[in-house]
Amino acid sequence: MLAFLLVVPLLVWLLWHARKQRLKLIDALGGGMHTHRRLRDVLRLVAFMLFVLALARPGHSPQTESVSRSGRDVVFALDVSQSMLAQDMSPSRLEVAKQGIRDALTIFGNERVGLVVYAGSASILCPLTYDYDFVRYMLEQAHPRSVDFGGTTLQSAVEKVVGQVLIEGREGVQDLVVLTDGGDHGSQMDKVIEALEEKQVDVLAVGLGNPHVGSPIPLVGDSGQVEYLESEGVRVTTRLEDSALRSFAQRSPRADYFAVGVDSLDLGQLYLDYSADKQVEAASSEAGVLVYQEAAVFFLVPGLLLLVLSECWGARGLQLGHAALWLTLLGIIPNADAADTEFRARFDEAVVLLEAKSFSDAEAEFAVLYGDASERSASSGDLAALQVNRGICLIALSEMQAGENPSVALSYAKSAQLAFLSAKRYAPELQRAGVRLESTAHLLFELQQAIDAEAQEQEQLNSKIDALVEKLENLLQEQHKLRKSCESKDVDRRPRRKVKGQPAPEPIVAPDSAVEDAKGFVVRQGELLDEAKSAEMMMQSIDQLLVAPDMPQMETLITEPLKLIRGAQEAQNRAAEELGAWSSWPAARASQNRVELKIEEILQLLSGDSQQPSDESEDWEDYEEDYDYDYMEDSEESMSSSEAMQGDLAAGAEMQALPIPNYSAEDILMEEQGSLQFRQQKRANANASKVEKDY
């Protein structure tokens, strides 16, 4: 930057030449008073030189400082397999391990910390960072569902840490702290030891659990009750695999093992003792870095003052009005910041909305303020305050929606989480944001559990409806078969026309097997009646799931089908009575057809299909109304009945529209969306089925 001083001679010549030309022009115009004084040019030159010196960044009071922070890199590998849920340590092995990590973070100062969870596979929850609050927040997210596969393989954790977490060039100052119960189901220890040795990573293995007595693994069931993990009908118990961990520590020169058992865990002190004799940085620097205190301001301020004076020094001396204007433009004269005043007023209005519990309006106002503040480059403190208050509004909105719509509540909570994280980035020292992050993590976990439970209930409901539909379809098919069987076993009842000169036609008589067939028809119809009653019980069970507890009289998807199935049972009872006598078989078939119609209508309601009944059903409706059952009358009456039967009865039938379903397409889409979320959530469980020991 000092090279710019070489320009000073050129500037001197330019100013001298310009002054000379101005004087010639003034003399030519007959002017006798100079309008540009030599002092003005001198002030400009001095100001320029001061600016050049300021740009050179002069310094004073040199001090030697270390190049890097004197700390080690520590990665916690947390076993989140189901065996860590065992409660031989209170409240569980997993919670004791998580609390141990929290305790260690409280005594760390210059250590960079990372977090990896593993079971059958490994996942990075937090890369190496000095932000311990963020590590604590991510630690809250650690649970058995954090990984894709069950089981326990230390190899997956070591490969993830060595390959993706630890940084090149820090060999010798990197530690891996493994918290596990030792139940390894597939690691190749030779490869693990080789990877640790190659990267010079030291390992502290901490064993948790009772090494002598096995403990069952509690799982929370769908109904909220505690169940215990079983394998092939036998309850699974787990204990600390102490011998396996000791063997690993003996085989690896870089590994140490500490068996906690069921005693209390002070991981912070344990790590301090472990790393007491270890170096704290990869390469030591005796000289360090020489750091100077900035001195540019001592050149910059005088330069600005001289520049202002040069612009205000005219032919008549110093012009104070112009000087005041320049000082205002340069910000030397304080001026009220109108934009900042408006910002504070709007912020206060948003706070009033928040205190009045108008959370939606307050959140919108804080969001707008945050956008405006970002554009005008507001201070990090203001931006952090806006994000914290916006997050508080979003948390309140989430809690309001938690009971009615957990999915919407989860969306609000996730937005709040992002707001608090943003506030923490703007102001790492802001403890309020860190506390809110922890409480938000608990809220997210509870909401996710509620959504999981709701999705599971929806899955159970869908399964029951599918089973009901299958049962009704089978019932419809069997009822149709019985009607067709009754029709095939009957004789042609159409009366024969009497022809002149020919003997009278023989009377219509029952078939020889009519009595036996009637008994079989009655028995079969009774069995189908029992099936219909079973379907009704299934409907009642589904109806109870759909009815809201505070609205026991509300109509549901099953309300109308329940009425129809009861009507179908009444028609089945009549059909059973009519099938007992051959003379009433036609009436029985009409009753059976009514049963089929009602079952078809139920299926249409359950599928959301409101189409009209088929032509065959319409014919049977008219057949029921117009058929003359007295086939022993004279031929003229019989012929009249036959003609009525054979006519175009469908043309005269009154088409009755089916009832409108009491659920909308949006309801069906919401149910399908819930089922989709549930299926996605179960995908990891499906993958875990490939693991031989998923605990």
Query: Taking 50 as the threshold, does the pLDDT of residue 492 lie above it?
Result: yes
pLDDT grade for 25, boundaries at 50, 70 and 90: low
CA 219, distance to chain mean position in Å, is 22
Burial 205-242 (b: 16+ CB within 10 A, else e): bbbbbbbeebbbbeeeeeeeeeeebeeeeeebebbbbb
- Are 93 and 218 contacting, i.e. CB atoms less than 8 angstroms apart? no
Residue with more model confidence, 672 or 13: 13
Residue with more model confidence, 111 or 690: 111
Strand intervals (E) in 269-428: 289-294, 313-314, 317-318
Q: Please tell me the least confidently modeled range out of 253-257, 362-366, 527-531, 544-548.
A: 544-548
Residue pLDDT, tens place only, 567-616:
999 999 999 998 888 888 888 989 999 999 999 999 988 886 544 444 44
Q: Please tell me the least confidently modeled range out of 28-32, 108-112, 335-339.
A: 335-339
In the block, residue with structure tokens 């998923």: 694
Confidence at residue 341, expressed as pLDDT on a 0 to 100 scale? 78
Residue pLDDT, tens place only, 341-385:
787 888 888 888 888 888 988 898 888 888 888 877 778 888 888
pLDDT grade for 229, boundaries at 50, 70 and 90: confident
pLDDT grade for 316, boundaries at 50, 70 and 90: low
Strand partners for 257: 205
Confidence at residue 302, expressed as pLDDT on a 0 to 100 scale? 86
Is 98 in a helix, a strand, or coil?
helix
Cβ burial, residue 129 (10 Å; 0-12/13-18/19+) = middle
Confidence at residue 599, expressed as pLDDT on a 0 to 100 scale? 93
CA distance 456 to 674: 9
Query: Taking 90 as the threshold, does the pLDDT of residue 472 lie above it?
Result: yes
Give me the torsion for CA of 687, 688, 689, 692, rounded to 10°.
130
Query: Taking 90 as the threshold, does the pLDDT of residue 630 lie above it?
Result: no
Q: Please tell me the least confidently modeled range out of 91-95, 111-115, 424-428, 641-645.
A: 641-645
pLDDT grade for 15, boundaries at 50, 70 and 90: confident
Is 318 in a helix, a strand, or coil?
strand
Confidence at residue 648, expressed as pLDDT on a 0 to 100 scale? 37
pTM score, whole prediction: 0.38
Confidence at residue 612, expressed as pLDDT on a 0 to 100 scale? 46
Confidence at residue 662, expressed as pLDDT on a 0 to 100 scale? 46
In the chain, % of residues over pLDDT 90: 18
pLDDT grade for 41, boundaries at 50, 70 and 90: confident
Confidence at residue 528, expressed as pLDDT on a 0 to 100 scale? 93
Residue pLDDT, tens place only, 92-150:
999 999 999 999 999 888 889 999 998 878 888 898 888 898 899 999 988 887 666 55
Tokens standing for residue 465:
């409806």
Residue with more model confidence, 668 or 580: 580
Selection from 112, 115, 104 nearest residue 131 by Cα? 112
DSSP 414: H
Confidence at residue 291, expressed as pLDDT on a 0 to 100 scale? 65
Selection from 124, 128, 106 nearest residue 116 by Cα? 124
Query: Taking 60 as the threshold, does the pLDDT of residue 691 lie above it?
Result: no
Confidence at residue 481, expressed as pLDDT on a 0 to 100 scale? 92
Average pLDDT, the chain: 77
- Are 53 and 334 contacting, i.e. CB atoms less than 8 angstroms apart? no
pLDDT grade for 328, boundaries at 50, 70 and 90: low
